[in-house]
Amino acid sequence: MTNAIAVLGAGKIGEALLSGLLTGGRRVDDLMFTERHPERAAELTTRYGFRAVDVPTAARAADVIVVAVKPQDIEPLLDDLAPNLDRGTLVVSLCAGLPTALYERRLPEGVPVVRVMPNTPMVVGEAMSAISPGRHATGDHLSIVEELLSVVGMVVRVPESQQDAVTALSGSGPAYFFYLVEAMIDAGILLGLPRAVAEKLIIQSAVGAATMLAKTGEHPVTLREAVTSPAGTTIMAIRELEKHGVRAALLAAIEAARDRSQELGRQHEDG
């Protein structure tokens, strides 16, 4: 088991990972972070007891460095990290779009890098994380990352060439479900239901449907067909969804997210 872990950038994902590792049995003394906003750093230290450190301390003390800043903030962070990093330290990037080659170019020669695309259900231990090795990452490095992330959800290995698609699908995916739930609650309001009732009905339906998908192993089409009675209510709704191009909208939306992930990577090609 790796010992010390440092998260660089303790925002939503950084906090979710650190708190998940703590809940999963890691010692608080082995969990540290850097954060550019002092109020945010104080908040995390007060809430969990994690140590706020600077980049040189993180680089010296940690076996694994997890980069969790926005892709747009990566350049100054790499400037800080490069002169301090030991080539044996494993670097794990959670940043959308950023290729392992960027880190390999900017950090000491031979540093192992693993690219990860997690998602926010990490806060409830239900993340979906996809991991890919960079040029110097071995099977052992992948196992270390798998062990770390399996505490906060499921982990799959994918080739790095698939990471932009993964980002569009599962990285952003929770937002699509939240958007759908939000719209369905609005529909409840349209039909005259009290908001609290509409919320309860839709959220439990979402939980139930997700649990059926995860537990029965049935194909989504089979599960939908079981709800769709001949000349019943569901088929009337499905006809409207088809008429309004919801399926095509989803395909186009996810393609746009994939394109944006690729673009974020290209913005750092000369870095």
Ligand X SMILES: O=C(O)[C@@H]1CCC=N1
Residue 72 or 204: the one with the smaller Cβ distance to ligand X is 72
Task: Give CA separation, 56 vs 80, 95, 104, 141, in Å.
Answer: 8, 21, 19, 22
Q: Compute the least distance from the CB of residue 113 to ligand X, in Å.
A: 18
- Give the binding site for ligand NAI (CB under 6 A): 8-14, 34-37, 40, 68-71, 73, 76-77, 94-96, 117-120, 171
- In the bound state with ligand X, the residue whose beta carbon lies nearer, of 99 and 171, is 171
Smallest gap, in angstroms, from Cβ of residue 167 to ligand X?
5
Residue 13: contacted member of ligand X, ligand NAI, none (CB under 5 to 8 Å, by partner type): ligand NAI
* Min dist. Cβ of residue 103 to ligand X (A): 17
- The minimum distance between CB 14 and ligand X, in angstroms, equals 13
Q: Is residue 169 within the footprint of ligand X (CB under 6 A)?
A: no
By rule CB under 6 A, what count of residues binds ligand X? 4
Q: How far is the CB of 237 from ligand X (least distance, A)?
A: 29
Q: Which residues pair with 114 in a beta bridge?
A: 92, 133
Q: Which residue has the tokens 């052992």?
A: 140
The window from 2-10, 143-151, 167-175, 200-208 that contacts ligand X (CB under 6 A) reads 167-175
For the chain, the maximum distance between any two Cα atoms, rounded to a whole number of angstroms, is 68
Residue 91 interface partner, choices ligand NAI, ligand X, none, CB cut-off 5-8 Å depending on type: none
- Of 129, 130, 137, 92, give the one whose Cα is nearest residue 110: 137
User: Judged by CB under 6 A, which of 10, 16, 31, 96 binds ligand X?
Assistant: 96
SS3 97: coil
Nearest CB to ligand NAI, comparing residues 13 and 90: 13
54/250 Cα distance (integer angstroms)? 42
Please state, in angstroms and rounded to a whole number, the distance separating the CA atoms of residues 97 and 267.
9
As a three-state string, the secondary structure of 228-252 is CCCCCHHHHHHHHHHHCCHHHHHHH
Token pair, residue 99, equals 């290729």
Which listed residue (107, 172, 185, 268) binds ligand X by CB under 6 A?
A: 172
Amino acid at 226: A
Q: Tell me, letter by letter, the H, E, C secondary structure of 139-155.
A: HHHHHHHHHHHHCCEEE
Question: Whole-number minimum distance, CB 256 to ligand NAI, in Å?
Answer: 16
Q: Report the C-alpha gap between 6 and 2 in whole angstroms.
A: 11
Instruction: Using CB under 6 A, pick the residue from 99, 133, 171, 265 that binds ligand X.
Output: 171
> Which region among 35-43, 79-87, 135-143, 165-173 touches ligand X (by CB under 6 A)?
165-173
* The two structure tokens encoding residue 82: 């490069």
Tell me which residues touch ligand X (CB under 6 A). Answer: 96, 167, 171-172
